[in-house]
Structure 1
């Protein structure tokens, strides 16, 4: 197996008396796309929040290239090279497209690198270039999702965390988003994606984990999981 970019060991997170994660183990090899699949309430977003330093870890360990980041602040984790595109986009709706993108580069000091990253984002998402002066709140849902992913790429992340990038989008837009995520990965960025749209995700992922009520029930190569019709119906739905 490749070098491990991100590893989660026996991770437990609770919200009061509710156990959101019950000791999960996940490995994200460098240069791969790993999917974390499951229904609403399975614990997917909590996993990303724990990695990003937003959710408090009750027990277990999170390593980033063998560095323990379990107790680190969200700011420190971002500066190390982990960036998240959150569920619901969470763009700055009253700022322009280009100003939204520049907020994603707050950890960078090199103006040349920021310019290169902006050019890269516009290459992936030409529509954002066309609308760079437009107020972000007036974009379509698909364009806002492109903006959220583009903003996350502005910091030159080593690992990109994607939280439900297909949520609420039309099928054609979803297909475009997944195609671009694959391109981003092929150019060297490791991706951990959480999704309800299992079939589309398994088509681009290398490995997948199925999370159900805070526990990993199934894991394996995405190419194997996508062939298991019973598994798709039982755990992942027919999406």
Structure 2
């Protein structure tokens, strides 16, 4: 059985007087793709932002590979190997593809590792190699999403956080990106993915949690959840 990469216990996060996360427990095993599913406003992005250290917790603990990261600053969390590809891509529009990728390597000191990471990103996303001198704003939505994931991979993540990677993309592009996410996991990187696209996500995930208004209402293996009538009704439009 794989070891636990990330352990979350009783996590609470407030926005002013609003409790966005109401004491959630979650484990992410090493070498797995774990999904957090749920509709808008469920607390999915809040969970990722707290894991990255962008938000403060009002309760609970987070442990990553033996390190207590509950109150750790985001730059130190990134150095430990938790790297996020944010919702809405957020690439640097005026920089080239290669310059964007380079910004993801700021925690990596070894030039050799940076070179290896470039090769890895271009292996997953050959189109980025073809466009490495192109300005990011001229890329298609799908290419920008590939760039956002590639930029995160440049930081040598042990845990890759993906926030809504399918958002606003055509189904064929989504399928292709999800296949690459699977390949990233097969190459040894643990992945925590937040998605509204439950059907595609459960096809590649090992385990999944369903968040509803700050609480986990369901969890189980991806196979169990994809056969769960309640989940099918709520998130998969009543059909598999």
TM exceeds 0.5? yes
Task: Indicate the residue corresponding to 2:209 in structure 1.
Answer: 209
Question: Distance in 1 between the 2:26 and 2:139 partners?
Answer: 35
Task: Indicate the residue corresponding to 2:28 in structure 1.
Answer: 28
Deviations along 1:96-126, whole A, 9 cap, x unmatched?
0000001000011111110010010000000
- Whether 1:61 and 2:87 are equivalent positions in the alignment is no
Task: Indicate the residue corresponding to 2:4 in structure 1.
Answer: 4
Question: Distance in 2 between the 1:237 and 1:212 partners?
Answer: 17
Task: Tell me the SS of whatever aligns to 1:94.
Answer: coil
- Note if contact 2:10-2:61 (Cα within 8 Å) is conserved in structure 1: yes
Question: Distance in 1 between the 2:49 and 2:159 partners?
Answer: 14
Task: Indicate the residue corresponding to 2:164 in structure 1.
Answer: 164
- Stretches of structure 2 that go unaligned for 5 or more consecutive residues are none
Query: Map of 1:71-220 to 2, 5 A cutoff?
Result: 71-220=71-220
Question: Distance in 1 between the 2:235 and 2:87 partners?
Answer: 21
Question: Distance in 1 between the 2:48 and 2:37 partners?
Answer: 12
Task: Indicate the residue corresponding to 2:40 in structure 1.
Answer: 40
Shift of residue 66 of structure 1? 2.0
Task: Tell me the SS of whatever aligns to 2:22.
Answer: strand
Shift of residue 148 of structure 1? 0.1
Question: Distance in 2 between the 1:81 and 1:106 partners?
Answer: 12
Task: Tell me the SS of whatever aligns to 1:75.
Answer: helix
- Note if contact 1:210-1:235 (Cα within 8 Å) is conserved in structure 2: no
TM-score, length of structure 2 as denominator length: 0.98
Task: Indicate the residue corresponding to 1:221 in structure 2.
Answer: 221
Question: Distance in 2 between the 1:31 and 1:147 partners?
Answer: 23
Shift of residue 127 of structure 1? 0.4
- Stretches of structure 1 that go unaligned for 5 or more consecutive residues are none
- Note if contact 1:98-1:133 (Cα within 8 Å) is conserved in structure 2: yes
Question: Distance in 2 between the 1:16 and 1:38 partners?
Answer: 22
Question: Distance in 1 between the 2:109 and 2:49 partners?
Answer: 26
- Note if contact 1:95-1:135 (Cα within 8 Å) is conserved in structure 2: yes
Shift of residue 199 of structure 1? 0.5
- Note if contact 1:38-1:212 (Cα within 8 Å) is conserved in structure 2: yes
Question: Distance in 2 between the 1:79 and 1:192 partners?
Answer: 17
Shift of residue 67 of structure 1? 1.1
- Note if contact 2:198-2:235 (Cα within 8 Å) is conserved in structure 1: no
Shift of residue 229 of structure 1? 3.2
- Note if contact 1:225-1:231 (Cα within 8 Å) is conserved in structure 2: yes
Question: Distance in 2 between the 1:224 and 1:215 partners?
Answer: 19
- Note if contact 2:9-2:26 (Cα within 8 Å) is conserved in structure 1: yes
Length, aligned pairs only = 239
